[in-house]
């Protein structure tokens, strides 16, 4: 789905990974989040009034993905039959506001290095398999990371090069392999 498209459904992610991206006022793109199993998107479509039924972001599949769709009509019926659903939706919206507020504070008050460490730490958890100590391959480009942290590709590359020199990551074509998750996690939490 694309930013500005008609909005009439909520999606629950069953499998795969998806990126949530928005256009900035200068025409650039910012990646707000990477979603995986158990995440959701499109919740605003179910709550906005009829005069504002447009998607606020573009969601693209980063790999083959499956989502479950709840249409506006089905959601309205569910809310009528089960009023407690409103509490669940409110909790989801609170969680989303908290996530976005934390990202805004990071952007305003943390340096680029820490923002890169934090996104890589999150992505390591998202892409990790059963062995949490093993190296994790994150199949995103440096441009994608720059979109996620509000930096340029060149500045993110400099941070990644320093991490590579410290043997925390290895850089590959369109991927970052996190080889020392514990060291990365420590850097993200400083």
**Residue 22's pLDDT is what?**
94
Q: Based on the domain organization, do 28 and 55 belong to the same domain?
A: yes
Q: Are residues 163 and 90 in the same domain?
A: no
Residue from 36, 41, 38 nearest 127 by CA: 36
Based on the domain organization, do 58 and 79 belong to the same domain?
yes
Q: What is the pLDDT of residues 87-103, one digit of tens each?
A: 988 898 999 899 999 99
Q: Do 87 and 170 fall into the same domain?
A: no
Structural domain count of the chain: 2
44 band by pLDDT with thresholds 50, 70 and 90: confident
Residues 21 and 98 in one domain: yes
Q: What is the mean pLDDT of residues 66-72?
A: 94
Residue 172 shares a structural domain with residue 81: no
pLDDT value for 53: 83
Query: Which residue in 153, 115, 151, 122 sits closest to 138, CA to CA?
Result: 122
Position 132 pLDDT exceeds 70? no
Check which CATH number belongs to the domain holding 65 and give it. 2.60.120.10
- Is position 31 within any domain? yes
């Amino acid at each position: 789905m694309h930013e500005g498209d008609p909005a009439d459904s909520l999606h629950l992610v069953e499998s795969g990974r998806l990126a949530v991206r928005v256009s900035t006022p200068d025409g650039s793109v910012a990646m707000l989040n990477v979603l995986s199993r158990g995440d959701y998107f499109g919740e605003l479509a179910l709550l906005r009034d009829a005069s504002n039924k447009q998607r606020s972001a573009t969601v693209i599949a980063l790999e083959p993905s499956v989502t479950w769709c709840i249409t506006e009509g089905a959601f309205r019926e569910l809310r009528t039959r089960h009023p407690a659903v409103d509490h669940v939706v409110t909790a989801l919206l609170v969680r989303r506001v908290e996530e976005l507020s934390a990202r805004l504070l990071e952007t305003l008050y943390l340096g680029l290095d820490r923002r890169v460490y934090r996104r890589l730490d999150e992505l390591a958890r998202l892409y990790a398999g059963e062995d949490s100590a093993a190296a994790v391959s994150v199949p995103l480009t440096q441009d994608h990371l720059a979109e996620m942290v509000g930096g340029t590709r060149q500045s993110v590359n400099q941070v990644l090069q320093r991490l590579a020199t410290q043997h925390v990551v290895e850089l590959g074509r369109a991927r970052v392999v996190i080889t020392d998750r514990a060291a990365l996690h420590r850097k993200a939490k400083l």
